[in-house]
Amino acid sequence: MVIARGSTYREVYDAFEWRLPARYNIATDVCDRHAGDPTRVALIHERADGAVQTYTFLQIQRSANQFANFLQYCGLAIGDRVVLFLGQDPATGVAHVGCWKAGMISVPTSTLFGADALEYRIRTTEARVLITDRANYPKVAEIRERAPTLEKVLLIDGAEPGCLPFWETLDRASDAFETLSLTPDTPAFINFTSGTTGWPKGALQGHRSMLGHMPGLEFLMDFLPQPGDILWSPADWAWLAGLMDILMPGWFHGLPVLTYRSNAFDAERALHMMGKHRVRATLLTPTMLKLIRQVKDAKRRFAIDLRVVLSGSEAVGQDLHEQMAVALGAPINEGFGQTEANCIIGNSSLVMPTRYGSLGRSLPGHVAAIVDDDGAPLSPGKVGNLALKRPDPVMLLEYWRDAEATRGKFVGDWMITGDLAESDDEGYLWFRGRKDDVISSSGYRIGPTEIEDAIVRHPKVALAAVIGAPDPERTEIIKAFVVLAPGCEATHALADEIRESVRDRLARHEYPREIEFVASLPMTATGKILRRELRDREIANRART
């Protein structure tokens, strides 16, 4: 355990201090140091057909070594990028570890994304290698000629012209590889943010990010690891919630992680998986908890034996919190973070009272506070910028090749999250709104810019603005205000057509559930759309209905 166990929040928080080594590689901590025991299980993989296969850390190490050797054979060097266009699959974990062993940068990318979003991420990172499956390869094929840096495409489950079979290719490589000795600041992976003033930005994280995550995760999961712990979440490994809150923290402690993901969240299926495989620690977003709440007598019917549930991305709320703690037989601990700095605020039921509706307190090793626009700390009760103090190993190294955006993220030593909040006299932090236009829907943080860009590509659309409209189930839903081109008629069929075009170009979770055709959009004198005005108007309209 990275943190020392204590009986109070203050005892645990004050006892922790960072001790970053001079040389560090994530792959050593999450794989190599556990591979000496050939029986130690790393993955329990349940396939769609119900077949279950286990992978030991030794097997993960050998496959990761083979992948590292393959990448070097292809001429990739330290710092080159590899896109993992995959979901929860053993190949995903192997590829991440293989990249890190050889000092290359993995770029996890959700298979929810369409061709345009994928192309943007490949071109932005200038990725040279991509791994995907046959189901998602058509998106790659569509944009491959427009991605000149992309040299190799590997498929994990078959063959297509111009592609290499992932596992068969690895089998031809040596399984001996000496993990490179790197520094904590050596780049390790890139996750893309939700863009508000442009397309998404790539948040570049160093190898130190693994160490930066651990004190917060151990705290949020009531002192992970505990005997018998098995981890799982429906959250995809393309997102930080799946990759760095579940998979890699589990592997950091040599724990088995269940891998199973259906195309859409199914509450009864999720409960079945947790009961069948004796999952003890999980991450379930509030939207998932709301769907699970509809399942009667879940703990008994599915033999659930959870020790702790981590939740976040949106407020859980007192009623849902209390109901689900009873229904699942485990405490619900809320955590807060963002792509640029994950797991920085939260709760642990073992050492601190729950303040329903709050984000929690600064997690061990992190200093979160409320500051004004000049970076001056504000006193309790005053609303200001929720900020994180640097240096902090969980914090991004930079926005990928965007020095101006990186500088703009900071005021002095404070990283500004973009959230507005206030603190109370006990140090609990309370969310009060967004300072920008990010939409929080069903656990996803979604930027409006690329959705608007996809909408206006429709030949009948002249202008579009996207906001988050309040929704009791999803926190917010995506709503688009659309100005049609001259001579075009607003119809239900056209609205459906626009929705489908966005779904095809971007992702299933990024299409507008509601479309309102308008004659004009509110704008500044310089032509900037006033999304906040649209959002305030929408909130007022819904309050009257």
Measuring CA to CA, which residue among 125, 299, 94, 255 is closest to residue 199? 125
Q: What is the pLDDT of residues 99-127, one digit of tens each?
A: 999 999 999 999 989 999 999 999 999 99
Q: Structural domains in the chain?
A: 439-544 (3.30.300.30)
CA–CA gap between residue 312 and residue 326 (Å, rounded) = 18
Q: In what order do the strands lie in the sheet with 341-346?
A: 52-56, 41-46, 257-259, 231-232, 281-283, 308-312, 332-338, 341-346, 361-362
Main-chain dihedrals φ then ψ at residue 510, nearest 5 degrees:
-110, 5
User: How confident is the model at residue 440, as a pLDDT?
Assistant: 78
User: What are the counts of helices (DSSP H) followed by strands (DSSP E) for the chain?
Assistant: 18, 27
pLDDT, residue 144, reads 96
Question: For the residues of 406-438, what is the DSSP string, one character each?
Answer: HHHTEETTEEEEEEEEEE-TTS-EEEEEESS--
307, two tokens: 């020790």
Residues of the chain with pLDDT under 70: 194-198, 433-436, 524-528
Strand order in the sheet with 105-108: 164-165, 152-155, 129-132, 81-84, 105-108, 187-192, 202-206, 398-399
The single-letter code of the amino acid at 133 is D
C-alpha Rg value of the chain to the nearest Å = 23
* Joined tokens for residue 450: 């690329």
**Is residue 30 a contact partner of residue 231, using CB atoms and an 8 Å limit?**
no
Reduced to 3 states (helix: H, G, I; strand: E, B; else coil), residue 357 is: coil
How many Å separate Cα 357 from the centre of its chain?
Answer: 22
pLDDT at 528: 61
CB neighbourhood size of 454 (10 A): 27
Other CB atoms within 10 A of residue 25 CB: 25
pLDDT tens track for 383-406: 899 999 999 999 999 999 999 999
